[in-house]
Amino acid sequence: MDHDTLKEKTIAQQAERKSVYRVTRRGDEIEIDRLTLELVDNFKDAFDVDKLAIRYTPLLAQYDYIVGDISAEQLRLKGFYHNDKSVANQDKIQTLQDYLYEYVNFGAPYFVLENINPRVREARENTSHKPNTKPKRESKDNKQRPKTKSKSKNGKPSTKKAPTKKRAFTIKQK
């Protein structure tokens, strides 16, 4: 696929997403995908209704906070939970400052949205796979076979090395 075709497909996908996820903004209140979000922080006026509509995915509805940062004119979205939820620490909003230091370019514009009515993530039922009914194999008292040395045709131990593969790249020495 050439560059122009890829660019056309990307633009078509963005237009489709924009029409599917309509974003409305009233002051600091934002609505998207039947969610009500509140704009808590908007560093360097990073929040853009159109960019959010293009990048939004329904998976973000489960998070209590959505953080968006802009780098190279692209919006990246990440979800965080309240501090009282039983999730990994890196997914709690208390680690927002660490996330900004480690993953967001220094001085890059970002925004924080608080999800007023987060959706509970639905547990998927795994009915397509059968439960594993096969019993596990038990080990045989940790018995090991004795090691035998390979011998060449003349009866002496083999000293042949495995063939080395030629590298597809070169390592330049200084």
Q: How do residues 102-131 score in pLDDT, each as one tens digit?
A: 999 999 999 999 999 888 765 554 444 444
Write the pLDDT tens digit of every residue in 155-174.
665 555 555 555 444 444 45
Rounded to an integer, what distance in angstroms lies between the CA atom of residue 60 and that of residue 62? 5
Element (H, E) at 112: strand 110-115
In CATH, what is the architecture of 3-115?
A: 3-Layer(bba) Sandwich (3.50)
Helix (H) or strand (E) holding 80: strand 74-80
Q: Is 120 exposed, middle or buried (0-12, 13-18, 19+ CB in 10 A)?
A: exposed
The pLDDT of residue 114: 94
Return the pLDDT at 171: 43
pLDDT at site 39: 95
Identify the pLDDT of residue 118: 83
Helices (H) and strands (E) in the chain, counts: 3, 6
Question: How far apart are the C-alpha atoms of 149 and 109, rounded to whole Å?
Answer: 65
Q: Where are the alpha helices (DSSP H) in the chain?
A: 3-20, 49-55, 96-103
**Which residues have CB under 8 Å from 78's CB, separation 6+?**
66, 67, 68, 99, 103
Could you report the per-residue pLDDT of 17-74, keeping only the tens digit for each?
A: 888 888 999 999 999 988 999 999 999 999 999 999 999 999 999 999 999 999 988 9
Instruction: Average the pLDDT over 142-167 and give the result.
Output: 56
**41 touches 47 (CB < 8 A):** no
pTM of the entire structure?
Answer: 0.66
Cβ partners under 8 Å of residue 70, min gap 6:
46, 51, 76, 108, 109, 110
Over the stretch 71-95, which tens digit does the pLDDT of each residue have? 988 999 999 999 999 999 999 999 9
Could you give the maximum distance between any two Cα atoms of the chain, in Å?
88
Residue 46 in contact with residue 67, Cβ under 8 Å? no
